[in-house]
Each structure stands twice: as structure tokens, then as C-alpha cells.
Structure 1
Amino acid sequence: MNNLVEKLIATGITIGGGIVGAKLVEFGWKAVTGHDAPKDLDDTEEHLVSAISFAVISAGISAIIKVTSKRGANAAVKRIQARSTSKAGVGEV
């Protein structure tokens, strides 16, 4: 398989995982605190502790998603390579 295709697959899985993870963090934040996730940096009504807590939680979840999605992407690329190798072997006989 082409190295460019492998990178595109890995990038797509990572981006998709990041989008899903961000939505999960926002949903979880609202479920736990009852408030929307802090987004406006100029909003002086946001509590500093709340904004920092959200940032730390969001960064931690993002790091976990990045690692797991990269591992998942590598596993998916290996499966695709194995299938293409086994199919190529059948036609050569």
C-alpha cells in the first residue's frame, strides 16, 4: 500500500477521533456541571477554576484519543495491507 494512502487513513481516523472526543467532553461537562463548556476567553463571568478544569480535562482526553486513534489507524493499515497481500497472492498462482 502506498505510504501516502496510509498517512491519509491515519490522519482521517485521528481527525474523526478528535471531533468525536471534543463532543464527548462537551457533553460530559454539561452532564456533570449542568453548564455549557467554557469557550469564550473574553467572558469575565467564567470562573477561572472552571475554565482551567475544562482545559485540563479536555487536554487529557485529547491526548488519550490521539494515542488510541493512532494505534487504531496503524492496526487498520496493517489489516488493509494483509488483505491486499493475501489477495495479490491468490491471483499469482
Structure 2
Amino acid sequence: MNTLVEKLIATGITIGGGIIGTKVVEFAWRKVTGHDAPKDLDDTEANMWSAITFATISAGISAIIRVSSKRGANSAVKAIQSRTKSRAGAAEV
């Protein structure tokens, strides 16, 4: 399989996982704290510790998603390659 296709698959899975992960972290933050996630630098309502805590949690979740999506993308590419090879082998007989 073309490495460009593999990279596109991995990128798509990573972006999708990142978007979903961000939404999950924001939802969980809102449920636990009762406030929206601190994003705006000019927001005087969000104190420094809540911003640091949110950034730390987000970074940890982001790292987990990145590793998981990379592994998932590699598995998907290998599955596609093995399916393609088995079909090509069957056609050659």
C-alpha cells in the first residue's frame, strides 16, 4: 500500500480522536467543576490553578489519544494490506 495512503489514514484517525478527546475532556471538566474549560487568556474568571490543571489533564489525554490512534492506524493499515494481499494472491491462482 502506498505510504501516502497510510499517512492519510493515520492522520484522519488522529484528528478524529483528537476532536473526540477534546470534547470529552471539556464535557468532563464542565460536569466536575461546573464551569466551562479555561481557554481564553483574557478571562479573569479562570484562575491560574484551574488553567494549569486543565492544561495538564488535556495534555495527558492528548498523549494517550495520540499513541492509541497511532497504534490503531497501524493496525488498520496492516489489516488493509493483508486483505489486499490475500485478494491478490487468490486472483493469481
Which range, TM-score by smaller chain?
A: over 0.9
- Partner residue of 1:39? 39
Aligned ranges 1:13-92 → 2 under 5 Å: 13-92=13-92
Shift of 1:30: 0.6
Distance 2:45 2:86 in 1: 60
Gaps of 5+ in 1: none
- How much does 1:45 deviate? 2.1
Give the drift of 1:46: 1.1
The alignment covers a number of residue pairs equal to: 93
Q: Deviation of residue 39 (structure 1)?
A: 1.1
SS of residue paired to 2:37: coil
Cα distance per residue 1:28-55 (max 9 Å; x no partner): 1011111111111111221111111000
2-side partners of 1:48 and 1:41: how far apart?
10
- TM-score when normalising by structure 2: 0.97
Q: Which structure 2 residue ranges, 5 or more long, are not aligned?
A: none
Q: Percent identity?
A: 75
Letter in 2 for 1:63: A
Q: Once the two structures are superposed, what CA deviation does each residue of 1:46-81 show, in whole Å capped at 9, x if it has no partner?
A: 111111100000000000000000000000000000
Root-mean-square deviation over aligned CA pairs: 0.6
